[in-house]
Amino acid sequence: MKTSTPLVSVVMPVYNGGSYLIDAVASVIEQSCTDWELICVNDGSTDGSQAVLEWFAGQDRRIRVLHQQNAGIVSALNLGCFAARAPLIARMDCDDIATPDRLCIQTRHMREQPQCVVVGGAILEMDAAGHPLRLSRLATRHEQIVENLLCRRTGHFHPTTLIRAAAFEAVGGYRTEYQWIEDHDLWLRLSSRGQLANLTDVVLRYRQHTGSVCWQRAAQQRQLMNQLLRQAHQQRGLDVPDSVLAHPAQSRSAAGPGKWARAAAKGGFPVSVHKHLRELFKSHAATRYKFRMFAESVARLMVSFPLRLLRESAALPSGNYDAWHTKWRQHQGRERAA
């Protein structure tokens, strides 16, 4: 018999989720683990996301929708996480897709490893249209994850994480002063409460597009990261290596079809490489750049494609939720006819 308290609360901040939102919510509904609640925080969306969320809430009583005026991701995350009823909080973004067994795999880990306060997982990166780019995995052991965090490297893929609610509350949740790198700050503080871990299982299809925070807020992220790392090293009685603070001078390479083609080539996905190279050659990019990206992509693909076939015996998660899109269109049709 089910208790009134779910096993896991999935927290999804939503700001203008657009066409991606239906896939994201549907991927939670279709989890093999059914003992969950989904808390969607509508952060003042103006694109119709509110209507989609309220429709989903009417379809499934496990879904709750909270509303606030647009106040940013940290405010939305804290609102959702502190409203969670479960002892475990799963993060999710409104443009990503959870794999069907994500919650089962991660809650099992937390049950078997009581000292763990955060567990993340591997991702299948995809482009804006959902085509695969590459598989990405991070360090799995606590010590290596903390070292990566202190050295300005990624510790967890934020929307893959499952967090113990008690530990989250004990450190005070996300901090507004570190918006845009709020996850990096949270992991460093949680590392003093217990173990950090990552699984090698792919738990999320992670969407890369120019609307992502990492592309829009790169300058703010670099400045805040300097401040955070100085503080984290000082608290641990460590000096900050010059190499760690040298990164703000570096800029992120431009997003676009050239970058996506190269990423897909590294991941071993020839169809995606072909798609983005075609887009690149139709663009106004410099001819020299086009041919350099073409050469790099082909060279990478010749190595990565056969390696992917050898290593990845399991089928990649499809992330196809067309039935939910059809239901939504039918609902809209009935609304217009009424």
The tens-digit pLDDT sequence of the chain (338 residues) is: 345 899 999 999 999 998 899 999 999 999 999 999 999 999 999 999 999 999 999 999 999 999 999 999 999 999 999 999 999 999 999 999 999 999 999 999 999 999 999 999 999 999 988 889 999 999 999 999 999 999 999 999 999 999 999 999 999 999 999 999 999 999 999 999 999 999 999 999 999 876 555 555 677 788 899 999 999 999 999 999 888 885 544 444 555 888 878 888 888 888 888 888 888 888 888 888 888 888 888 888 887 777 676 565 444 556 678 899 899 999 889 888 87
The amino acid that residue 329 corresponds to is: R
Q: Of the candidates 21, 18, 85, which has an alpha carbon nearest to the alpha carbon of residue 57? A: 21
CA gap 252, 229 in Å, rounded? 19
pLDDT of res. 38: 99
Residue spans of alpha helices (H) in 83-119: 102-112
Q: How far is CA 221 from CA 15, 185, 333, in A?
A: 20, 12, 43
Whole-model pTM: value is 0.87
pLDDT of res. 61: 97
Considering the segment(s) 8-232 as one domain, its CATH architecture is Alpha-Beta Complex (3.90)
Q: Three-state SS for 275?
A: helix
Q: Three-state SS for 259?
A: helix
pLDDT of res. 311: 63
Is 75:66 a contact under the CB 8 Å cutoff? no
pLDDT of res. 252: 47
CA gap 5, 85 in Å, rounded? 6
Is 265:304 a contact under the CB 8 Å cutoff? yes
**Domain chopping of the chain, boundaries:** 8-232, 255-311
Q: Which two tokens stand for residue 306?
A: 């056969």
CB within 8 Å of 26: residues ≥ 6 apart:
321, 324
Could you identify the residue written with the tokens 């390696």? 307
pLDDT of res. 247: 55
pLDDT, one tens digit per residue, over 203-262 is 999 998 765 555 556 777 888 999 999 999 999 999 998 888 855 444 445 558 888 788
Q: Which two tokens stand for residue 21?
A: 């939102």
Partners of residue 207 on adjacent β-strands? 126
pLDDT of res. 246: 57
Q: Three-state SS for 36?
A: strand
H or E, element range at 26: helix 21-29
CA gap 229, 185 in Å, rounded? 9
Is 10:92 a contact under the CB 8 Å cutoff? yes
CB within 8 Å of 116: residues ≥ 6 apart:
109, 110, 164, 194, 195, 196, 197
Q: Which two tokens stand for residue 283?
A: 């663009």
Q: What is the Cα 154 distance to its own chain's centre?
A: 12
pLDDT of res. 2: 46
Q: Which two tokens stand for residue 163?
A: 């967090």
pLDDT of res. 313: 43
- Our CA dihedral for 277, 279, 284, 288, rounded to 10 degrees, sits at 0
CA gap 283, 66 in Å, rounded? 41
Q: 165: number of CA atoms within 13 Å, CB side? A: 19
pLDDT of res. 268: 83
Q: Of the candidates 181, 91, 199, 196, which has an alpha carbon nearest to the alpha carbon of residue 146? A: 196
Q: Are strands 97-98 and 36-43 parallel, antiparallel or unpaired?
A: unpaired
